[in-house]
Copies of this chain bind each other. A is one copy, B any other.
Amino acid sequence: MSLLVTGTIGIDTVETPHGRAESVLGGSACYFAFAASLLTPVRLVGVVGEDFPQEFREMFRGRPIDLEGLEIRKGAKTFRWQGRYVGDMNSAETLRTDLNVVAEAPPTIPKHFRDAGYVFLANTHPAVQRSFIEQLLSPKLIVCDTMNLWINETRQDLLKTLALVDGIILNDGEARLLSGESDLIRAGREVLKFGPTFAVIKKGEHGAMLVSPDEVYVLPAYPTTRVVDPTGAGDSFAAGMMGHLAAIDRFDAAALKGAMSRGACVASITIEAFSLSALTAATPQTLAERLAQYKAMLSFD
């Protein structure tokens, strides 16, 4: 079943204790698209400026990522982000953000993308997320991300969006902020009251929790010492989840848990190199092998 992602396409400059990547391809929609394409074809919706390097466009070639929704806007400049991870690399310190085209009108979903069944709305203003939802013809499963900025500044808008989505994927700090609950299980249950039928709370190196009306479970992160650049881990997790759900065209409880496991594995691949390097080097076989290791790790008698 078709999978569509809307989100940011940007040019990142990232420093970590392992080095520096200068003006590399980044953005939530890119991480998502490359990661999900290991599992299923992806329709990408996003906007860049005229300065978007042709070589970045070339990176998508040969992958099941449909770029018809990639708008190259005349007279606009591409979103840029510069950040730094220090110490345990648990969170990025933003050094500079140039919103550029992201501060303008959002892109439109192309006509024949609108029948997408599975949709991931990466982090952006909740009203913009809603405008994307309104363009969809027959979505089966809509899942969104959000961030502290929208929870703090546009809470009512965000609640309107949450009433329209089936699931939300957010990190532990965001879940606590949105719910007012410090315990993550309670936080997840509060979030469900806003509309979604499931909430996935990402805990970084500590894995991720799924909360639904019927169940709560935690799956650990795939343990690795090769954390080179955590950028995109969250979007990759979402991509692993949504890619799996779209591929099997189911989102019952068992499907969601399978999806969580793919999320953990894809995210662990992403962070092993700067930018999209590890993801673009990976194949469905890479992911299948990691999934087998992950499954073995969680098996015991």
Contacts and interface: CB of A to CB of B under 8 A. Distances in A.
Contact of A300 (B203, B224, B261): B261
A214 interface: no
B223 A209 contact: yes
Contact of A225 (B185, B218, B221): B185
Contacts of A224: 185
Contacts of A56: none
Interface string A168-204: 0000000000000011011000000000000000010
A185 B218 contact: no
B88 A183 contact: yes
Contact of A218 (B209, B217, B258, B297): B297
A257 B183 contact: no
A141 B295 CA distance: 28
Q: How many copies does the complex hold?
A: 2
A186 B225 contact: yes
A301 interface: yes
Contacts of A258: 300-301
Instruction: Count chain B CB atoms within 10 A of each CB in A216, A220, A297, A301 and give the residue with the most.
Output: A220
Contact of A260 (B183, B203, B207, B300): B300
A281 interface: no
Contacts of A203: 206
A24 interface: no
A186 B88 CA distance: 12
Contact of A206 (B207, B216, B227, B261): B207
Contacts of A186: 225
A50 B211 CA distance: 50
Nearest to A224: B185
Contacts of A218: 207, 220-221, 223, 297
B182 A87 contact: yes
Nearest to A260: B300
A105 interface: no
Contacts of A301: 254, 258
Contact of A298 (B87, B182, B219): B219
A203 B206 CA distance: 9
Shortest Cβ-Cβ A-B pairs, 4 listed: A206-B206, A218-B220, A298-B298, A257-B300
Given A185-B223, A185-B224, A207-B207, 19 more contacts: A88-B183, A183-B225, A206-B206, A207-B218, A209-B223, A216-B223, A217-B223, A218-B220, A218-B223, A218-B297, A219-B220, A219-B298, A220-B220, A254-B301, A257-B299, A257-B300, A258-B301, A260-B300, A298-B299
